[in-house]
């Protein structure tokens, strides 16, 4: 899946999910963009919404909190520009139809939240933009995930959009997610069932271990919540987010994990080649053997280095007559055998 100028099959695509951790402070939101770039992530992500269009007014406490977290469309446009200036891909999650329409001109890819992976009007609208889509799978089983994939791809076929790219992130919608509920093996099932999608992981556990382990299991996209500080406020997301130092370490460990995973090619590595003759074995004499001696199996030992006749060539030694004498441990060579 290609997002901006990056291909998720080449290396894990790491998203710093600021979400609403700015709490409506535009200056902090801008700072978080720069801190995300400093941490080495590939993309920064926010949530864009009009509170009146996705929270019921009689849910007063939640309504007032989210209303206080709102940023304007102009501010999101500026955040997108700021992200690109510092080399980041800009993504946001629309939580209402108006926000989705606005974001189309400003994001490199859309994200659909777990809570909305059955919100068909929004999914249809975002699919209609022809931009790459990522959706989280919290609350959904494999049949429901496959239904989203089928609907999105059918929409792209109908509109002639081709395949802009679909990322599917294993996710557990618990904040924080207990380690025993992370269930990273679900990605293996999703990878087998959805081979044409970029399967990844949206992490709600505390710490960074789960996100790194997900890459070891083949996650092509990793999303981790990002905060200025765990104790910034009592908003729940700060506690399950990575702070700048942790995000930097997360990226470092993901890249190291990818290096350790390598290409998967089975065979002698280039760095082994100089060692190979030193640690392989040669067929050698167990005891002093005189010229004219007919070699038996009991005359053989196998010693390092491996610069003589290799194990497996015993039939070319046994029964042959020595042309020269050998001391204990001397390697057999074809020229000395008749």
The predicted-structure confidence for 273-292, as pLDDT tens digits, reads as follows 999 999 999 999 999 999 99
pLDDT value at position 269? 96
pLDDT value at position 252? 98
pLDDT value at position 169? 98
- As annotated, the residues of the chain forming the CATH 3.90.1210.10 domain(s) are 270-336
- How confident is the model over 105-156, as pLDDT tens digits? 999 999 999 999 999 999 999 999 999 999 999 999 999 999 999 999 999 9
pLDDT value at position 180? 98
Q: What does the pLDDT average to over 167-189?
A: 98
- How confident is the model over 217-240, as pLDDT tens digits? 999 999 999 999 999 999 999 999
pLDDT value at position 72? 98
Provide the mean pLDDT of the chain.
97
Tell me, which fold does domain 8-261 have in CATH? TIM Barrel (3.20.20)
Second-level CATH architecture of 270-336: Alpha-Beta Complex (3.90)
Give the whole-angstrom CA distance, residue 138 versus residue 143.
13
Residues in contact with 193: Cβ distance below 8 Å, sequence separation at least 6, in sequence order: 142, 145, 146
Q: What does the pLDDT average to over 55-74?
A: 97
- As annotated, the residues of the chain forming the CATH 3.20.20.70 domain(s) are 8-261
Residues in contact with 150: Cβ distance below 8 Å, sequence separation at least 6, in sequence order: none
pLDDT value at position 99? 98
Element (H, E) at 282: strand 282-285
Percent of the chain surpassing pLDDT 70: 100
Cα 329 to its chain centre, rounded Å, is: 51
Specify the pairing of strand 166-171 against strand 6-7: unpaired
Tell me the DSSP string of 291-313: TTPBP-GGGEEEES--SSSPTT-
| CA nearest to 145, candidates 174, 177, 121, 123 | 123
Residues 184, 170 contacting (CB under 8 angstroms):
yes
- Model confidence at 187, pLDDT cuts 50, 70, 90, reads very high
């Amino acid at each position: 899946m290609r997002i901006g100028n990056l291909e998720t099959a080449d290396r894990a695509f790491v998203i710093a999910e600021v979400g609403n951790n700015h709490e409506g402070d535009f200056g902090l939101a801008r700072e978080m963009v720069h801190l995300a770039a400093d941490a080495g992530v590939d993309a920064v992500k926010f949530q864009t919404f009009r509170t009146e269009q996705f929270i019921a007014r009689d849910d007063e406490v939640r309504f007032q909190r989210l209303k206080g977290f709102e940023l304007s469309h102009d501010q999101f446009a500026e955040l997108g520009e700021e992200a690109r200036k510092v080399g980041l891909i800009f993504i946001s999650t629309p939580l209402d139809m108006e926000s989705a329409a606005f974001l189309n001109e400003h994001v490199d890819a859309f994200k659909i939240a777990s809570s909305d992976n059955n919100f068909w009007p929004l999914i249809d609208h975002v699919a209609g933009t022809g931009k790459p889509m990522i959706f989280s799978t919290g609350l959904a089983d494999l049949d429901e995930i496959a239904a989203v994939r089928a609907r999105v791809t059918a929409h792209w076929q109908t509109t002639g959009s081709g395949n802009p790219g679909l990322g599917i992130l294993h996710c557990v919608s618990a904040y924080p997610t207990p380690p025993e509920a992370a269930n990273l093996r679900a990605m293996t099932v999703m990878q087998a069932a959805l081979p044409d999608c970029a399967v990844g992981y949206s992490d709600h556990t505390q710490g960074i271990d789960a996100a790194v382990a997900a890459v070891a299991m083949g996650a092509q996209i990793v999303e981790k919540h990002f905060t200025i500080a765990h104790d910034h406020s009592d908003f729940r997301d700060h506690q399950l987010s990575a702070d700048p130092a942790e995000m930097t370490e997360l990226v470092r460990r993901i890249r190291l994990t990818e290096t350790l995973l390598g290409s998967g090619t089975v065979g002698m590595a280039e760095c082994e080649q100089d060692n190979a003759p030193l640690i392989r074995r040669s067929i050698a004499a167990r005891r002093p053997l005189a010229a004219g001696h007919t070699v038996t199996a009991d005359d053989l030992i196998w010693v390092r280095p491996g610069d003589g006749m290799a194990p497996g060539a015993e039939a070319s030694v046994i029964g042959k007559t020595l042309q020269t004498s050998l001391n204990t441990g001397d390697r057999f060579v074809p020229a000395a055998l008749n």
